[in-house]
Structure 1
Amino acid sequence: MNTCMKLQITLLTFLLTTIFSSGGFAQILKVSQNGRFLVQQDGKPFFYLGDTAWELFHRLNREEADLYLTNRAKKGFTVIQAVVLAEQDGLNAPNPYGETPLMDNDPTKPNEQYFKHVDYIVDKATSLGLVIGMLPTWGAYWSSLNPDKTIFNTQNAFAYGRYLGQRYKQKPIIWILGGDRDITNDGERKMMEAMAQGLKAGDGGSHLITFHPRGPGLSSDYFHNAPWLDFNMYQSSHAAHDHDNGLYAEHDYKLMPPKPTLDGEPRYERIPAGFYFAGSNPQDRFDDYDSRQAAYWSVLSGACGHTYGNNNIWQMYAEKHKPVIAASIPWFEAIDHPGAFQMGILKKLFTSRQFQKLAPSKTIVLDGPDTGGGKIKAALANDGSFTIVYSPRGEKFTIDKSLLKADRMREVWFDPRYGEEYIIHTSGTKGIQTYTPPTNGRGNDWILIIEKVD
């Protein structure tokens, strides 16, 4: 071996040792300095675009997982939310390879063969540039509201968290505690804190942690000031059309210290609206418009991203499985429903601008619907360089353009269904102006972008 090659190997060894030192894997994501967004290690903004794939580890084989993850990467998703101890009898019903996650349902006895399958999916996601939002467990397995299913206590919650933290220390992971359950007593709070501390003990604190509450609900109600909670998550849930999930973002945005927040479970495409209410109509299902409306309302209210969901996908429904909440379309067909494409358009819109400059603004919109399904939402860049205004029903609104700091401005109508931009004009006109979107009515949502022209 020549001297040059020895030097190259020595340098590579040094770099790897530095990256994987005792502090753990360099944190893939972190919170921005202003506490409002997520960023990568180099400070580059990270737009959280998640998909709820709760049963991914449990129900899909490797070929199916490849298909699903590749589809999501191509559509622009950045985070895949999946549960290790899954909701649909995730303790006892085996995965496609006949494996269950724990020996004797004991959190201190993980089944290596089950976790090798989880490893495969995590690695495949990583190869596609996706981050796994990993839920260690669904909430039924720790909540006192489900005594017949509970397997966790403070001690084994810490041990289980430490195991996961060590195993995925060097992987791009976001830890999501909770799993559709709320904290109802001090014992549950201590259990979640123990699991969080276990994760940190295992991965050296190299990954972000949040909490997925039951819906409608907010992690900030329980853990906003917890030092281990890096960003908040709310679940606006599936109760009704036109339910303004942006109100949750507005709530969290006012809290101190500032922490990023986002909707981790909004109304799913193709789930019956208000299915958990007596007398609801099982044929009245949320569509792609409902998904878009929730997404833009939330992000323009201060969220650092958004999570999409589809009723057929979260459970990875196929004919061999019993449908839950009236699932009726195989997951491998549902992955191409229109709402999923439109989430990629959402991300493309925001990442094509310096979205990290945005803050929700109630002063730039002077007139327009402020209640109901047509409620106008707007965000304004902190330097006044651009604004984004959303009209969910295509109804007209009035803007105070004096808040924009530019001599010349470009005005654009953006179609959130197809991602097309229509330039209105470029001018230096200031003052108050009223805008009427190209079309109106349900499903005819439009976005106005006014931005500085160099």
Structure 2
Amino acid sequence: EYVDAIIDMADSLDMYIALLPSWGDKVFKNSWGTGPEIFTPDNARAYGQWIGNRYKEHDNIIWIIGGDRNPRAGSTDITVWNQMAEGIAAAAGGYGNTLMGFHPQPNRPGGSSTWFHNEPWLDFNMHQTGHCANQGTYKFILHDYDLNPTKPVLDGEPLYEDHPNCFNAKELGYSIPDDIRRIMYWNVFAGAFGQTYGCHDVWQMHTLDGEGINGPLRPWQQALELPMANQVKHLKHLMLSRPFLTRVPDQTMVLDVQEEDDDFIIATRDSEGTYAFIYFPKGKTCRLDLSPLKGNTLNSWWYDPRTGNAFTGPTIAKTDQVTVVPPTSGKGQDWVLVLDDASMGFQEPGKMP
């Protein structure tokens, strides 16, 4: 009844719930979790039907199968999760009445696609790129984006704010906004249909009189006002200020040979060529190919991912090679170059229609 009340409250606030039918330790505990291990191929479908029937009238639920576990080789885990998902879909009246993903642990190169990409219940793929700052998460998103049949992909658990880097705060410190922002823009520009945000203090609802898991830094109430908790919206506003559903990744626009480090510049554009976004994590000078864009005259803008503000740049003639110098450079000086076909009359980037 408590879960019912939370789902109803979220609905009253026009919010969606990502609902996990079970945490992964109810299938197997491995090295963490308390269990009990109760689900088998014989009972998982019945449970899925029960919980699916309970919430089939709610249209604000996104079903997340898996519960932070990767299926073990040589086990029945894949069958258990398939049966649970099929039970939910059957109770809801079919696949068209559910929206489902699978929350894995870190896995390379594919996330949920490794085990479930061709399953009819899986509507979108999820990754957990994990809690290390020094990795090219865009590669994992692009891997799933390129799969056939085509399914949307999302990073369901990226580096959290206030999280010990690689769970090793003593040697590597904690995550900082620069790293979290970079991962977010990398993922979405590589083809993800959105991005999740998490905070190490908030997920565990840490308080000063609590024991804390993996070294939280502050009470959860204070963490609600951390920098990235307020900066995530700038990515959303940018993406929705231009045609969203026709957007594709296009790394061919970046001409310079790049190392796979935290200065990696990444590009995305409209499939019709009406606009492009190029993300510069550290404001590095770069050569770009603008020929995939439609108009011969391009309006340029610089969008600040830290503030959501934008200012106009020069009008640029379309060419197959132009050198671009961002307004500032260095760690924490990330920018998005926005290029628009001048004939489209797009509004300022980040301004919602």
Whether contact under 8 Å (1:359, 1:379) holds in the other structure is yes
Q: Does 1:398 pair with 2:287?
A: yes
Deviation at 1:408, TM superposition (A): 2.6
Task: Quote the residue 2:351 is aligned against.
Answer: none
- Structure 2 counterpart of 1:134, which letter? L
Q: Does 1:209 align with 2:100?
A: yes
2:24 to 125, 139, 143: 139
Matched residue, 2:52 = 165
1:325: Cα distance to partner?
1.1
Q: Distance in 2 between matches of 1:283 and 1:365?
A: 31
2:212 counterpart SS class: coil
* C-alpha separation in 2, matches of 1:364 and 1:431: 9
Letter aligned with residue 173 of structure 1 = I
Structure 1 residue 282, shift from structure 2 partner: 6.2
Q: Which amino acid aligns with 1:422?
A: F
The reply on whether 1:259 has 2:151 as its aligned counterpart is yes
Equivalent residue for 2:2? 117
Are residue 177 (structure 1) and residue 42 (structure 2) matched? Answer: no
CA contact (8 A) 1:368 1:398 kept: no
- Seen in structure 2, the aligned counterparts of structure 1 residues 413 and 433 have a Cα distance that, compared at 3 Å, is same
Counterparts of 2:48 and 2:320, CA distance in 1: 56
Structure with greater strand share of residues: 1
DSSP-derived class of the 1:340 partner: helix
1:196 pairs with 2:89: no
| CA–CA separation in structure 2 for the residues paired with 1:123 and 1:290 | 35
1:8-157 alignment to 2 at 5 Å?
A: 116-143=1-28, 145=30, 149-157=36-44
> Conserved in 2, the CA contact under 8 Å of 1:368 and 1:376?
no
Pair 1:386–1:118, CA change in 2 (3 A): same
Gapped regions of structure 1 (runs ≥ 5): 1-115
Q: How far apart are 1:215 and its partner, in Å?
A: 1.6
Tell me the distance in 1 between the aligned counterparts of 2:28 and 2:341.
51
Residue 285 of structure 1 deviates from its aligned partner by 0.4
Aligned residues between the structures: 335
Confirm whether residue 268 of structure 1 aligns to residue 160 of structure 2.
yes
Does 2:183 match 1:294? yes
Q: 1 CA distance for matches of 2:3 and 2:154?
A: 25
For residue 66 of structure 2, what is the amino acid of its counterpart? G
Name the SS for the 2:315 alignment partner.
strand
**Distance change (3 Å), C-alpha of 1:122 and 1:148:** closer
Q: Is the 8 A contact 2:128 2:156 kept in 1?
A: yes
Report the residue type matching 1:214 in the other structure. Answer: Q
User: Counterpart of 1:222 in structure 2: which amino acid?
Assistant: W
Residues of 1 paired with 2:188 and 2:147: CA distance? 17
Q: Write the distance in 1 (CA, Å) between the matches of 2:314 and 2:13.
A: 39
Say if 1:368 and 1:396, in contact at 8 Å, map to a contact too.
no
Deviation at 1:444, TM superposition (A): 0.8
Counterpart of 1:215, as a letter, is: P
When residues 133 and 148 of structure 1 are mapped into structure 2, their CA distance, relative to the original with a 3 A threshold, is: closer
Q: Which runs of 5+ in 2 are unaligned?
A: 344-353
Pair 1:348 & 2:237 matched: yes
Identity %: 38
Per-residue deviation, 1:402: 1.7
Which letter does structure 2 place at the counterpart of 1:120?
Answer: A
Amino acid at match of 1:182: N
Equivalent residues of 1:374, 1:391 under 8 A apart: yes
Tell me the SS of whatever aligns to 2:282: coil
State the one-letter code of the partner of 2:216. Answer: A
User: How far is the alpha carbon of 1:144 from its aligned partner?
Assistant: 6.1
State the alpha-carbon separation in 1 of the partners of residues 29 and 230 from structure 2.
39
Secondary structure of the 1:373 match is coil
Structure-to-structure mapping, 1:413-432, within 5 angstroms: 413-432=302-321
Q: Note if contact 2:293-2:318 (Cα within 8 Å) is conserved in structure 1.
A: no
TM-score (norm 2): 0.90
Other structure's SS at 1:379 match? strand
- Return the offset for 1:148: 5.8
Q: CA deviation at 1:429?
A: 4.3
Q: Do 1:379 and 1:387's aligned partners in 2 also have CA atoms closer than 8 Å? A: yes
Task: Say whether the 8 Å CA contact 1:386–1:450 is kept in structure 2.
Answer: yes
* Equivalence for 1:223: 116
Query: Equivalents in 1 of 2:190, 2:35: separation in Å?
Result: 40
Match of 2:347 in 1: none
| C-alpha distance in 2 between matches for 1:365 and 1:345 | 23
Matched, 1:309 2:192: no
Question: Quick one: distance in 1 between partners of 2:13 and 2:307?
Answer: 24
Q: TM-score normalized by structure 1?
A: 0.71
Conserved 8 A contact 1:250-1:301: yes
Q: Which has the higher contact order (CA 8 A, sep 6+)?
A: 1
Aligned to 1:375: 264
Deviating more after overlay: 117-126 vs 307-316? 117-126
In structure 1, C-alpha distance between the alignment counterparts of 2:171 and 2:241, rounded to whole Å: 39
Which of residues 224, 229, 233 in structure 1 aligns to 2:126? Answer: 233
CA contact (8 A) 2:166 2:172 kept: no
